[in-house]
Every structure is written in structure tokens, then in C-alpha cells.
Structure 1
Amino acid sequence: MNSTTSLNARLRTPVMSAHDASALIRPGMTVAMSGFTGAGYPKAVPGALAERIEAAHARGEDFRVRLLTGASTAPELDGKLASVDGIQLRLPYQSDPTLREKINAGEVDYLDIHVSHVAQHAWFGFYGDIDIAVIEVSGIRPDGQLIPSTSVGNNKTWIERAAGVILEVNEHQPSGLDGMHDIYYQTALPPHRKPIPLLHPGDRIGGPYLRCPPEKILAVVKTEAPDRSNAFSEPDETSRQIAGHLIDFLRHEIRHGRLPPTLLPLQSGVGNITNAVVAELGKEGFGGLTAFTEVLQDSMLDLLGDGVLDAASATSLSLSPAGLARFANHIAKYRQRLILRPQEISNHPELVRRLGCIAMNGMIEADIFGNVNSTHVMGTRIQNGIGGSGDFARNAYLSCFLSASTAKNGTISRIVPMASHVDHTEHDVAVLVTEQGLADLRGLSPKERARKVIEKCAHPDFRSMLQDYFDRACRESYGKHTPHLLQEALSWHQNYVQRSSMRLP
């Protein structure tokens, strides 16, 4: 229970039910809500809004909203609103199966955006006016400042840009969150922006609280509900092999003087494989590490607790139920080393480049030349979105993409002749890793990359097929710099769509 919560009388803001607060949201509005990877999202107002939308549809009325968030949320928000056809447009990232189905059926417009761009695009006016922001906080201080919750995301910008604000004060969130955040306020727009004065992942450059003019706050809703956390599976043999290849590579870079023994600030995307890689770092004797990332998963929490990580900067927690309990029980210890920031800072390309991050992200597929698809299954069906992977991939000191070499019980090769959708071009990808091995693509020409990827990363069941494609392309391609057979470059994907397998008949 959050004993710091004080609904300041000076705000003169009505404390009301979620149903009454949701009545402030009208059809066609642009609504910005808190939430980033299942943390810090509003728990009550979205469900109440979904009930109102469903009732309106039953009366034959059109009621949908344009929905902006920090990243993915949870079934209580994305799932409920999608299930009643209440979303007209959604951005910038999602992972809800109901919403995904609606997007891929063409029933919801979806803008998949680099998460570092969202706040500045909102400030530039690219999304139009924001009517209402619905923001979860863990408390309201006596001076009216807001104690952020388990994610910061775009909340600072949503509060600043929205015409009105609904606050959900979640008393389930631990009181120890007070003081963990670093909210950096910079109001200047181009060309008057100043450099961000952050030199180390552990630096604090702002203050611990969000600010909102009292006259903007339309309603306060009290809640007491946990974040919807996701359980991470125990690392399987494939994940351990991928981790082993990458750690061997990092040690190689240390031996050759291209990395210090403490590495460089780590970024880890969401997922079981990247979570496993970070966990293995702790077992391999590394120390004095830092992280400059967007989400903090269980493995990084463990490294913080064990003293392997000296400092971690993120915008959100993405913890399992056990991880959330561990975080709450030892929050005073974690608060000394963990900082939660707005995502426009946690994912800022200039900071990523200047700090020299080691980026580790998952992928759907990569082609033999190193182009990576992070978002679309068979080139047409959105899975989740690009999230922050692009912010880090183009700007990291080392940009590593990790995946098993096959999917769907071996019927899909993750290494293909041509990526069916490209989120990260060959120019932004330094390292590809599967359980088969690691391809260091730095300094290689396209054909050299192709040979390395086929040899090191492809599954044996598909390696000869890839080699045959590449050999024929080298002989028959219209151009020989990046050789392709255009008539069959995407035939593997077509085979899967038609026969549920990329294997040759």
C-alpha cells in the first residue's frame, strides 16, 4: 500500500469513480494513456470506457477513440478497448493479441513508430491535439507534484500536451517508488534545444516528480491493482547457446581492446532470449556493468541485486510476478542503483551513440545480407512493433540481433534469402546470433556478409538451400554487388503461406 498518497485539497479536483471519469471521454477524441510494456498503465478508466463504448454501439452509435501510449499496455487497456471496437487509431507499439487481430484484419489503423520519436512528434503537432490524458501515478504529494508509477514512458509529454488530465492513483504500487524517477524537463523546440547533460547511465539530470497544473486535472480515480506482469520462461538450451556465442564474442572484443572489461552500457529488448543473455553475464564473472535501456527485466534486476550492475537507467519495469515481488521487497536497495526516465531520454539516439551502448534485440527474421525484420510475419502481419530497437540499432556501439535459427517446429527459417519486411537495414546491423553461431558483419561487403550469415547462423536444414540460392544469384543476378534472384527472393515466404513450410517440396 502506498502510504505517501495524498489527494491534495488544494487541487480542488473531484475524486470520482472510474465510470464517472470515463464519461469525460467522448467519441472521436484523441486520448493519451500511460503505460509501457505492461507497467504503469491505468487499470480502471479504460475498462469503464470500454463498457460505455459497448453500450453506445448497442444503441447504434459510433464511439471510437484515437489511442496513444508509451508502448504496449495490458488486456485491461488495449484488450478491453479492442474487444469492443473502441479504437480507431493506435500508436506507437502494442502486444495485445486482440488488438493485433483487429489491426491485421484492417479494423484498427496502427502507426508503428520508434518510441523515442513519439514525444517530439506530439510536440511538433504531428498527431493533432490531445484531448485527454489518463495517467497512472503512485501518489500525489502535498505540494501537488505527482509520484510516477512503474513506468514513465510518455507521461510527461501527455500531461503537458493534453487539454485535460485524469489521474489514476494506484495505491497498490510500492511507496518506495518515491525518489526513483528522473523527470527531465526541456521545453525548447528545434532549433533552440540544448544538449542533454547526461554523461553516465546513473546521472540524474531532472527531478523525481511529474508536474501538472491543478486546473488541468479533471478527475482523480483511486485504484489498487497490480501491473499485469509476464512470466519469463527458464532459459532453454537454445537461449543458452545464443548467450554463449554472444558472451564469447564480447570476451573476444575485450581481448582485442575494443571493449573494456566492464563492457559498455547494456541495452536489452523485451523477451526470453535477451533476458537469458543478460542473466548469463552475471554467471560469467562480469562486474562493474551499467545499463542504459528502455525496459528492466528480471535478469537485470538480479544483476542489480547481486552488485554486478552498478547502475541501470530505463523507462519501465518489465518483470515477472516473482520479479515484481522481489522488487517491492527490496525497493530501497534497488532505488540506489535504478533510475526510471521518460522514454524520450531512455531511447534518445544521441545519448545511445555518445554512451556507446551494446544493443541486444530480438528479431523475426534476417536475410543473408544482414537486413532485419523485427515486426512483420511473412511481411504483412504485424506482430508487435519496432518499439525502441531502431533507436538503439542505428546508434549503438554494437548492434546485435538475436534469434533461434528456426520457428514453428522447424518449418520456418529465421535466416532467409530476402527479408519480407525491413526494419533495420544491413547498415545498422553489426552482429547476428542464433544457436548455430555468431556472424560478425562489421567491415564486410554484402557478399562477404552473406557467406558469413549462411555459415554461422543458418540452421543445417536450410543452409544448403540458402547456399544454393546465393550461388545462383552470384551467377545470374542483374547486379553482382548484392546478388538476388528477384523472381524467387521471397519464394520461401510464399511457400509458407501456401504450404505452412518454407522447406522445398
Structure 2
Amino acid sequence: MFYRNHLIKFSYRCFSSESRINSFIKSKLMSAEDVAEKFPEKVTIGASGFTPAGYPKVIPGAFAQRIKNSKNPENFSINLYTGASTGDELDGVLARSGRLKLKIPYQSHKDLRKLINQGKVNFIDMHLSHVSKYIREGMFPPIDVAIVEACDVTSDGRIYLTNSSGMSGTYLSLAKDIYIELNEAHPLDMKGLHDIYLPEIHTGRPINIDYVDDRIGTPYVRVNPEKIKGIVLTNKYDSSPGFKKPDDASFKIANHLLDFILDEVEHGRIPKTLLPFQSGVGNVANAVLACIAQDNRFKSIEMYTEVIQDSIFDLIDSDKLRFASTTALTFSSEGQKRFHNQLHDLKSKFILRSMEISNNPEVIRRIGLITMNTALEADIYGNVNSTHVLGSSMMNGIGGSGDFTRNAYISIFL
């Protein structure tokens, strides 16, 4: 396994750095406005993106403008499937169009949240590991259009994704028509970070991942090139919020957690080499990684998670990150620039997986994770609420916290 993985990693470093605008791309170039005119009025969209990472940034806005300019905006109806929450240029603009009718499987945008809680947008709060299976087995309306962000596209239908894998593989495989935002803000060296694998449906076959750095798929999504109807050129970073440094309280909590983990090691319940970490979004989770970077008792860290934030750079700078598997790189603008500048050195330490793999209960349980996720409230019996405020008002959704918490070796809520 070690030999195979390192051959693959070496081959990914050998991708050509020549211009990405090949003859196939030239033949498909369109404006975002022209793409928006192609969409049916009643449309189900499958979009790339997982958190504000790797999501389409110009086509959704053009479609919202088409609705605004229409003499009969009431004729439009949008079902939107994504990987999780995305940026304002997708979740926000379509929510504000007034014609969004269904959103799955997760959200965190204030405009969209308000419409959901008002009952104006239907929302299905799902465990993220379930989404691909439900859609592939026809439990939701079929996908008319897939919109994905990519750093490269080839004439034989290979689509190389950017900062997230999310649900892109599933949506591209099922969509009738495909439109691509080719984002030139991402270097071609992004090719090779991804490991795209879609499990067969209706089978009990195992997913052959034993270690965080195992690769079982391809570095691209393969589609029928005839389904690619248009390509829009962009040059925009993800609009991720700036990285907020953890406060003193977060660091105190983090140090208590690290003492607990080391006590488990001392009593033989965790191996001395530790177990891979999963870290959710939030100040305390970021503080844990920062404390690990500063603590000499921790030498080598692995991560198997769904989101990686700027706090990963603390582990990189302290030379403690051995490997990180995720489905999204949710960096600030500064973090995105740094990652691109150091991509040649960092590429061998990262894998971006499809959401149905990063959040798969089988893999999570086999690897044996220490998971850290955020809760809204908890009781003394171990019941945790991470979705609703005062019992009835949706916050964001359960997302992947249920996938990781229910199957981890040690589950921690913050």
C-alpha cells in the first residue's frame, strides 16, 4: 500500500503546467448570462461546493438576474442540491431570487436560514453520508443541470475540481446537462489532489480505505463530454470569511481536551502514535490544532475530516502534519494564496475525497477517529442538539457531525 500510494503521488506531481485553455474548452466558452438563458424555468440544480469552497460563483448570479428581469418571475422554481453550505454567490443569490423552493442537505447563510424558518423554502436536514445514496436511488427530483467549478477540463470528459469534492461526482454523473466554471485563480497543480470514487449502489461491497492516505479512485471526475454544454471562465477566490483567532477560553478548553487524550494514551486506550483527528468548524476546534502545534508531547498528526481550515497551517509550520484527508479546503483568502504558493511541497500531504467517502460511517469506524464537533446544547444524559434553536428554529443542520460522532472511536462535542 505504501509503495502504491507513493507512486501515485509522484505521478500527480508530473502534470503539465501548460495553458489550460485547450481547443475543447475554446469550443465550449460562453458567458454566464448565456448559460443562465439555457436553464429551464423549473430546474433542479446540482452544484459543486462544500462550505464556501469550490462552489460556482458567477452562473447562479446570472440566473438570479434572469429571474429578476423576467416579466413572469413566478414561473421559475429552483431545487438546489449542494455538498453542504456554500458562498453567498450561490446560496445567497438564489435565496434572494425568491424562487428557491428546495435546498439540501445543509446551509449556513442568513438569508436562506430566514426563508427556511419562515416556511418559504423546503429544507431537508440530512446526515451528509446519506445524500449521495438518496439522490442516486431516485428519492429526490432528478438533476437537470450540474454547475461545477474546475481548474481544468479535457476533451475526453475529465473534470479536475478545485477546493472541494463534495457531491460533485454524483451530480455530474446524474445531470442531463453540465456547465463548468473554469476558475483560473487555481493553479493547474491542483490536479492530483482529489481522489474521486463513487461506491456502487445496491451492493454491500466494502470501501477499501484502511489509512488516511489511501487512494482508491481517480484525480478527476469522468463524464461524457457531450453532456458539457458550456464553460465560463472565472478568476475568483472562494469568499471564505477571514480566519478568526481562538480566544483564551477556547485555548483553555483545548488544553483540557489534550490532557484528556494524553491520559487515554497513558492508560493504553489510545496508541502512543495517536489516532487520526476529525475537527469540525469553530474556534475551539481550531484552538485544539493550534495547541497541538505548540505542545511538544505531540509529534505527528493525521486528519480524516470533512473540512480543513487555516488552523492546519499551525501543524504545517510546526512540522507535525503527517497527512490530511478532507472533502474541502475552506481557507481564507490569505490561506488560499499560501496554499497555492506552497502547493508543490504540500501536495503529498493532502487528499480531497468525495463527500460520501469522507463522511462514510464504515471508513470512519475502521480508521478509528478522535472527533471534535460543535453543539448548541447538551444534557447530562449525553443527548446533543446541534441543529435547532429553542427546539423549532433551524440553525444550520446536522451536516456531518452525526456521521463522525456516531462512528468515531472517541467522540467529543465542543
> Which residue, 224, 247, 251 being the options, matches 1:213?
224
Q: What is residue 22 of structure 1 aligned with on the other side?
A: 36
The change in CA–CA distance for 1:156 and 1:60 in structure 2 (over 3 A counts) is: closer
Deviation at 1:337, TM superposition (A): 0.5
- Is 2:147–2:180's contact at 8 Å kept on the other side of the alignment? yes
Deviations 1:379-409 (A, max 9, x none): 111111111000001000001000xxxxxxx
Deviations 1:465-496 (A, max 9, x none): xxxxxxxxxxxxxxxxxxxxxxxxxxxxxxxx
In structure 2, C-alpha distance between the alignment counterparts of 1:303 and 1:54, rounded to whole Å: 46
Q: What is residue 368 of structure 1 aligned with on the other side?
A: 380
Structure 2 counterpart of 1:245, one-letter code:
H
2:100 maps to 1:87? yes
Q: What is residue 297 of structure 1 aligned with on the other side?
A: 309
The change in CA–CA distance for 1:28 and 1:142 in structure 2 (over 3 A counts) is: closer
In structure 1, C-alpha distance between the alignment counterparts of 2:90 and 2:369, rounded to whole Å: 32
- Is 2:170–2:198's contact at 8 Å kept on the other side of the alignment? no
Structure 1 counterpart of 2:191, one-letter code:
D
1:222-241 alignment to 2 at 5 Å? Answer: 222-241=233-252
Deviation at 1:177, TM superposition (A): 0.7
Q: What is residue 204 of structure 1 aligned with on the other side?
A: 215
- Is 1:8–1:143's contact at 8 Å kept on the other side of the alignment? no
| Other structure's SS at 1:23 match | helix
- Is 1:11–1:215's contact at 8 Å kept on the other side of the alignment? no
The change in CA–CA distance for 1:197 and 1:120 in structure 2 (over 3 A counts) is: same
1:377-392 alignment to 2 at 5 Å? Answer: 377-392=389-404
Moved over 4 A (4+): 2-5, 10-13
In structure 1, C-alpha distance between the alignment counterparts of 2:25 and 2:336, rounded to whole Å: 32
Q: What is residue 471 of structure 1 aligned with on the other side?
A: none
Deviation at 1:210, TM superposition (A): 1.2
| Other structure's SS at 1:205 match | coil
The change in CA–CA distance for 1:45 and 1:4 in structure 2 (over 3 A counts) is: farther
Deviation at 1:370, TM superposition (A): 1.4
Deviations 1:216-241 (A, max 9, x none): 11111111111011222221111011
Deviation at 1:199, TM superposition (A): 1.1
> Which residue, 42, 48, 57 being the options, matches 1:34?
48
- Is 1:5–1:140's contact at 8 Å kept on the other side of the alignment? no
2:116 maps to 1:100? no
- Is 1:362–1:374's contact at 8 Å kept on the other side of the alignment? yes
Greater CA deviation, 145-154 or 279-288? Answer: 279-288
Count of residues paired in the alignment: 398
Q: What is residue 327 of structure 2 aligned with on the other side?
A: 315
Deviation at 1:60, TM superposition (A): 5.2
2:145 maps to 1:132? yes
Q: What is residue 276 of structure 1 aligned with on the other side?
A: 287
Deviations 1:392-448 (A, max 9, x none): 01000001000xxxxxxxxxxxxxxxxxxxxxxxxxxxxxxxxxxxxxxxxxxxxxx
Structure 2 counterpart of 1:53, one-letter code:
I
Deviation at 1:322, TM superposition (A): 2.4
| Other structure's SS at 2:69 match | helix
2:370 maps to 1:358? yes
2:187 maps to 1:174? yes
- Is 1:5–1:139's contact at 8 Å kept on the other side of the alignment? no
Deviation at 1:301, TM superposition (A): 3.4
> Which residue, 116, 127, 130 being the options, matches 2:129?
116
Deviations 1:316-348 (A, max 9, x none): 011122222221111111101100010111111
**Higher CA-based Rg:** 1
TM-score by length of 2: 0.92
The change in CA–CA distance for 1:332 and 1:33 in structure 2 (over 3 A counts) is: same
Stretches of structure 1 that go unaligned for 5 or more consecutive residues are 403-505
Structure 1 counterpart of 2:309, one-letter code:
Q
In structure 2, C-alpha distance between the alignment counterparts of 1:116 and 1:89, rounded to whole Å: 19
| Other structure's SS at 2:265 match | helix
| Other structure's SS at 1:134 match | strand
TM-score by length of 1: 0.76
Deviation at 1:305, TM superposition (A): 4.5
Q: What is residue 287 of structure 1 aligned with on the other side?
A: 299
| Other structure's SS at 1:296 match | coil
Deviations 1:93-136 (A, max 9, x none): 11111111111111111111111111111111111211110011
In structure 1, C-alpha distance between the alignment counterparts of 2:271 and 2:285, rounded to whole Å: 21
2:338 maps to 1:326? yes
Deviations 1:53-74 (A, max 9, x none): 1223x54533120000001111
In structure 2, C-alpha distance between the alignment counterparts of 1:22 and 1:262, rounded to whole Å: 52
In structure 2, C-alpha distance between the alignment counterparts of 1:112 and 1:224, rounded to whole Å: 32
Deviation at 1:160, TM superposition (A): 0.4
> Which residue, 262, 265, 270 being the options, matches 1:259?
270
In structure 1, C-alpha distance between the alignment counterparts of 2:370 and 2:18, rounded to whole Å: 37
In structure 1, C-alpha distance between the alignment counterparts of 2:121 and 2:135, rounded to whole Å: 20
In structure 2, C-alpha distance between the alignment counterparts of 1:4 and 1:343, rounded to whole Å: 30
Q: What is residue 401 of structure 1 aligned with on the other side?
A: 413
Deviation at 1:8, TM superposition (A): 4.4
The change in CA–CA distance for 1:125 and 1:13 in structure 2 (over 3 A counts) is: farther
Structure 1 counterpart of 2:142, one-letter code:
D
Q: What is residue 429 of structure 1 aligned with on the other side?
A: none
In structure 1, C-alpha distance between the alignment counterparts of 2:392 and 2:74, rounded to whole Å: 32
In structure 2, C-alpha distance between the alignment counterparts of 1:144 and 1:62, rounded to whole Å: 34
In structure 2, C-alpha distance between the alignment counterparts of 1:197 and 1:109, rounded to whole Å: 36
